[in-house]
Amino acid sequence: MLLIACPFCGPRDETEFRCGGESHIARPGPAETVSDERWGDYLFNRANPKGVHLERWLHGHGCGQWFNVARDTVSHRVLAVYRMGDPPPKDLTP
């Protein structure tokens, strides 16, 4: 079970959180200009890397805030935690 440092509350057990999957996915639009393929890619295709993964988490049983986590999918180490809207930190090494 991961120990995640919520940027608002501090370190808490994974059971307090919900993982919302890959972060930094741009929503394409306006709708009329987006091809079916592009829309399908936005809806369903995810990176699923072995290594550094940027994902968004919700501290649902806590402050109720969404934020970003950079996590190594091999070691499950949390490499960085940063707010929604912020760019990912540079130099993320697993």
Instruction: Give residues in contact with another protein (CB under 8 A).
Output: 1-3, 13-14, 20, 27-32, 34, 36, 39, 43, 56, 58, 60, 64-66, 75-76, 84-85
For position 69 contacting Zn ion by CB under 5 A, the verdict is no
Cβ proximity to another protein: between 32 and 91 the closer is 32
For position 3 contacting Zn ion by CB under 5 A, the verdict is no
Pairwise CA distance, residues 31 & 48, whole Å? 26
81 binding partner (options another protein, Zn ion, none; Cβ < 5 to 8 Å by kind) = none
CB of 49 to another protein, least distance (A): 18
Q: Please provide the distance, in angstroms rounded to a whole number, between the alpha carbons at the two ends of the chain.
A: 18
56 binding partner (options another protein, Zn ion, none; Cβ < 5 to 8 Å by kind) = another protein
Among 62, 70, 67, residue whose Cα is nearest residue 92 = 70
Encoding tokens for residue 34?
Answer: 């987006």
Contacts of 13 (CB under 8 A, 6+ apart): 1, 2, 3, 4
